[in-house]
Chain A
Amino acid sequence: MALASPYWNPLLETMEPQRLRELQLKKFKQTLAWAYEHSAFHRSLYQQAGLAPQDVKSWDDVARVPKVDKALLKQAQAQAQEPFPYGSVLSLPLEEVAEFRQTSGTTGKPIYQADSWQDWEWWAECWCYILWSQGYRPSDRVFIPFGYNIFVAFWAGHYACEKIGCEVVPGGVLDTKARVLKVQELEATAMMGTPTYILNMARVARELGLDPAELTIERITCAGEPGASIPATKDRMQRAWGAKVFDHAGATEIGAWSFECREQPGALHVNQAMFLAEIEDLATGEIIEEPGRRGRLVITALDRQAQPCVRFDSQDIIEWDQGSCACGRTFRMIKGGVVGRADDITKVKGVLLSPAAIEEVVRGFAELSDDYEVVVQRVGDSEKITLKVELVPEATGSRESVEPALRDRLRLNTNLGYHLEFHPFGTLPRYEVKARRFKDLRDQH
């Protein structure tokens, strides 16, 4: 019986690595040829580089295919808006586009993303690998507390639950209080959300006099922020809900490309049957094959039609894990998930600082609330990092012991000194879905 299978796709998820690589190369060539033949944007990009699809025969050739990034896609959509609104990146007639989504546009104008119905099935299929590996089965009642809108977020998770056979409860326009009560009323067994929102729901549950750990949620799938792969944040969510919390990584322009399985190995599997993930050295651009060296993700969505994703520079910082997973999947893993973003990592006082490293420290103190803020400022010729935190009500008197320990751990984890501010509980900004806790104000002087 299919339910007994630990794998959504036992053929591909346990395929011998060499065969998997051959499959990826074959699919990469076909995806490249599709993009070249059907997208004016891609064709122009490759022609400018003097490259035709038939030139790509080996892995060395793959590394020569020009990369695409957000800026290029935005530029292409700004320059040629026909077919409206996707422009020259569109690879199918408009009447075959079934779904519109867009990126959040936090770094400027959003990218419009078209998907055919086959692409939409593909999105759901990618999510099925994720959810099945995390234990979702037809007996689950899955509550999806998400705003069902122009952002892709958990849309495909919803469709994947349907495909798996779960009962799906769309938590659409309900407010957080109503969502918590609905989880309680319907005895939902699983849910999905950003780490910020999952912690926020736990707080609201407590305000309602409920202990979220006493509710019926057994598993939670996170996305949108790195928190579920940051051990201290994951631990907070798991303790709050008495549930297993799993991470996954994906993006509008890419798809849902990696996932944490039930074994929680401290790493995410890359779905190598649906994606080709390459790690590129930040300084040299060399492709990194060995574990333990961080670089940026360059990724190809194999088989995505309407708006191809070929060697997309995602800005995600990752590294290969060296271990194999007890789950038996042969898909390679990335250690600690997405550990940062190339555009997030900033130099402060000459030291590279990743906001995720600060989160790991703060969330490791049970005396501190879920909310904090980091502000970097220029003061004269030097730079100052202020970390604003709150003590939880039960730990009001513990500042004297927390402050030096916090300072020490921050120094140890980030090699930097901080100006610490303790604010009354409940006074720092609360974020609903995605948090923006890192504020770099150095350019504002």
Chain B
Amino acid sequence: MDQAKIDQMARRVDNLRQEALALLEQAQDFPALERNAARVLACVSMMQAGLGRSVVANRPRPGA
């Protein structure tokens, strides 16, 4: 596969993770957003794994 395309997709996935983590933190008093953000993070982890990253240490709680 085209390495430049892989790198670009990896950057987008990293951005998704950052956004989801920020949302999770911001939504601590808003279960409907916080729990869905946690689920999004699990999906994002699978995208990272799909790009060859290790995700075993990924956690849905900031600072955990």
**A→B interface (CB under 8 Å):** 9-12, 15, 23, 26-27, 30-31, 34, 92, 96, 116-118, 120-122, 125, 273-274, 302-305, 308
Give chain A residues whose Cβ lies under 8 Å from the Cβ of B45: 118, 121-122
A–B pairs, 5, beta carbons within 8 Å: A10-B1, A26-B54, A27-B56, A92-B59, A96-B60
Give chain A residues whose Cβ lies under 8 Å from the Cβ of B38: 117
Contact yes or no, A11 B6, CB < 8 A: yes
**B28-64: which residues lie under 8 A (CB-CB) from chain A?**
38-39, 41-43, 45-46, 49-52, 54-61
Contact yes or no, B56 A303, CB < 8 A: yes
Task: Tell me the complex Cα distance, A57–B29, Å.
Answer: 44
Q: How far is the CB of B20 from chain A (nearest CB, A)?
A: 12
Contacts A31-B56, A302-B54 known; list 4 others, CB within 8 Å. Answer: A27-B56, A117-B42, A122-B49, A304-B56
Contact yes or no, A30 B57, CB < 8 A: yes
Nearest to A37 among chain B residues (CB) is B57
Contact yes or no, A30 B54, CB < 8 A: yes
Contact yes or no, B56 A11, CB < 8 A: no
Top 6 closest A-B pairs, CB basis? A30-B54, A118-B42, A121-B42, A34-B56, A303-B56, A117-B42
> How many residues on chain B are close to A (CB under 8 Å)?
21
**B→A interface (CB under 8 Å):** 1, 6, 38-39, 41-43, 45-46, 49-52, 54-61
Give chain B residues whose Cβ lies under 8 Å from the Cβ of A26: 54
Give chain B residues whose Cβ lies under 8 Å from the Cβ of A31: 54, 56
Nearest to B52 among chain A residues (CB) is A23
Task: Tell me the complex Cα distance, A96–B61, Å.
Answer: 9
Contact yes or no, B55 A118, CB < 8 A: yes
| A12-B50, A118-B60, A125-B46 known; A303 vs B55 contact (CB < 8 Å) | yes
Task: Tell me the complex Cα distance, A125–B42, Å.
Answer: 11
Contact yes or no, B58 A118, CB < 8 A: yes
Q: Which of A10, A23, A34, A121 contacts B57 (CB 8 A)?
A: A34
Contact yes or no, B57 A9, CB < 8 A: no
Contact yes or no, B52 A12, CB < 8 A: yes
Nearest to B5 among chain A residues (CB) is A11
Contact yes or no, A11 B57, CB < 8 A: no
Q: How far is the CB of B42 from chain A (nearest CB, A)?
A: 4
Contact yes or no, A11 B1, CB < 8 A: yes
Give chain A residues whose Cβ lies under 8 Å from the Cβ of B61: 96
Contact yes or no, B39 A117, CB < 8 A: yes
- For A9, A31, A121, the residue with the greatest tally of chain B CB atoms inside 10 Å of its CB is A121
